[in-house]
Amino acid sequence: MDINIVGGGSCGLTAAIGLRRAGHKVKIFERASTATAFGAGVVLGQNASLVLTEYGLDWAAAKCNQADGIHLHHGVTMQRLSTTHTDKAEYAPRPGITQYLAHRVDLCQALVDLATASDGSSTPVEIVYNANVTAYDALEGSLTLANGEVHKADLVVAADGVHSCAPAHLLGHESIRHTGTSVVRWMLPTESLQSDPETRCLLQDPEYATFWISADRQKYLIQYPLRLGTLQNFALYIVHKETAELNDQTMRSTCDRERVHKELDGFSPAIHAMVDKTTDSIPVWRLGERDPLPTWHKSRLVIVGDAVHPMLPNQGQGLGMVVEDAAALAVVLQDMPPNPSAEQIEERLSIFEKIRKPRASVAQLLSSVPYYEDPLKTLLPQLLEHMPMNQLPASGLPNDVRPWFYRYDVFKEAEKAVAEQQKELS
């Protein structure tokens, strides 16, 4: 099939690699001038690293750190409160699959390289940059660019992130809302912390993320190493009353250092000394969410990734879910007949939705509460709308939620769903 993907972020690029491997001719339309325009650190759970390992990602070349777990520290006394191992063998969906910490820019570059490389057996993906998609037509299988060009294909995959206009095209209304939570994110060279006696204590084990929590445990600063330990990534969650309308323009902004000091009032002097090393214009990401959508596809259009299921980063699984979407889509679109009709495509997309929608909707709900709340206690009725009790995590505690995310083998699940559908049809 000819497949046009809108958005060259992690989801669009991973989908392009999978669909190319499944024998399709893939073109990506990306609004930015490069696929590596912005980003900071992300944690790749084993469910995501399984897919990227299978697709041939070279983790060392992508400068990813292996991640072993999380240290929880008191942000005032700096004392270690607990250590959680998140890279246990029993969390691996397949032997040898581990967690990684990646810089989005490095990850996207590695995915671009995989998507566009000649491998002698499948068609390299074509990426069109500076291509701002402004409209979709599901029945025609077309997209329209801001310059008026219309591009048609057998299938259009909308992977254009949280502000995609594809859900509105499918449902007739837009449903993204600002959560009132923002994340302030910055990175510092490890050397700048190491060489300062006051901040050296912030450098814990290189394979661990560190949560520095406030005395009342309501506020936390997350720190983890990137680029093989040469950078330290920091993320501070701010819950505020500000309700600026959330759109492409307002999603990213900046704040000054004083604001960060104020948010971290009461934290240790070492943490404030570290904040002093940042620039005075620190990136802020306003977080958006939407309720699970009733449907993800229509005719020749399917919506994937953050475009269909944006979620808060509380479980660190946004990227995990987009990578799973991409892999599942490639599995269900294997062995398509030549020149497939819209009905034949819809048949496959209904399998895709059957596998992905319940899991991603549950992931959205599990991610909607902070780590110190138990989502199974507060959100059980909503969770049961998407998944029966026996398929949900046994409890909302991290020891049950983590394996529910990490141990998932999307290839196995997608192949099983395709086989079941074929059996039903025969």
Given the DSSP bridges, would you call strands 65-67 and 220-226 parallel, antiparallel or unpaired? unpaired
Residue nearest to ligand FAD (CB): 9
**Residue 40 or residue 418: which is nearer to ligand FAD going by CB?**
40
| CA 27 – CA 33 distance, rounded (Å) | 15
Q: Which of 285, 350, 374, 378 binds ligand FAD (CB under 6 A)?
A: 285
Using DSSP's 3-state secondary structure scheme, residue 332 falls into: helix
Smallest gap from Cβ 138 to ligand FAD, in A, equals: 16
Site track for ligand FAD across 23-62, x = CB under 6 A: ------xxxx---------xx-------------------
Q: Which of 161, 288, 292, 393 binds ligand FAD (CB under 6 A)?
A: 161
| CA 247 – CA 288 distance, rounded (Å) | 9
Contact by Cβ (8 Å): 233, 187: yes
Contact between 19 and ligand FAD per CB under 6 A: no
Determine the interface stretch with ligand FAD among 3-11, 292-300, 331-339, 343-351 (rule: CB under 6 A). 3-11
Q: What would the DSSP string read from start to end of 138-155?
A: TTTTEEEETTS-EEE-SE
Measuring CA to CA, how many Å separate 321 from each of 54, 359, 399? 16, 9, 19
Q: Which of 159, 255, 271, 414 binds ligand FAD (CB under 6 A)?
A: 159
Backbone angle region of 39, left / alpha / beta, with phi > 0 → left and psi within -120 to 50 → alpha: left
Which sign, positive or negative, has the C-alpha torsion 195, 201, 207, 210?
negative
**Residue 175 or residue 194: which is nearer to ligand FAD going by CB?**
175
Contact between 93 and ligand FAD per CB under 6 A: no
Contact set for ligand FAD, span 178-207 (CB under 6 A): 183, 185
Contact by Cβ (8 Å): 396, 417: no
User: Tokens in use for 390?
Assistant: 């026996």
**Residue 30 or residue 270: which is nearer to ligand FAD going by CB?**
30
Burial call 386-416: b when 16+ CB within 10 Å, e when fewer: bbeeeebbeebeeeebbbbbbbbbbbebbee
Helix (H) or strand (E) holding 103: strand 99-103
Contact between 313 and ligand FAD per CB under 6 A: yes
Contact between 91 and ligand FAD per CB under 6 A: no
**Residue 31 or residue 359: which is nearer to ligand FAD going by CB?**
31
Contact set for ligand FAD, span 216-255 (CB under 6 A): 235
Determine the interface stretch with ligand FAD among 8-16, 357-365, 377-385, 397-405 (rule: CB under 6 A). 8-16
Determine the interface stretch with ligand FAD among 19-27, 309-317, 374-382, 411-419 (rule: CB under 6 A). 309-317
Smallest gap from Cβ 62 to ligand FAD, in A, equals: 15
Q: Which of 18, 292, 318, 358 binds ligand FAD (CB under 6 A)?
A: 318
The phi and psi torsions of 225 (rounded to 5 degrees) equal -80, 150
Smallest gap from Cβ 165 to ligand FAD, in A, equals: 7
| CA 421 – CA 331 distance, rounded (Å) | 13
Contact set for ligand FAD, span 351-390 (CB under 6 A): none
Which one, of 73, 79, 103, lies nearest residue 221 by Cα?
Answer: 73
Using DSSP's 3-state secondary structure scheme, residue 131 falls into: coil
Determine the interface stretch with ligand FAD among 273-281, 302-310, 330-338, 413-421 (rule: CB under 6 A). 302-310
Contact between 322 and ligand FAD per CB under 6 A: yes
Q: How many CB atoms lie within 10 A of CB 42?
A: 22
Q: Which of 4, 12, 360, 383 binds ligand FAD (CB under 6 A)?
A: 12
Residues of this chain that interact with ligand FAD (CB under 6 A) are 6-12, 29-32, 42-43, 131-133, 159-161, 183, 185, 235, 285, 305-307, 313, 316-320, 322
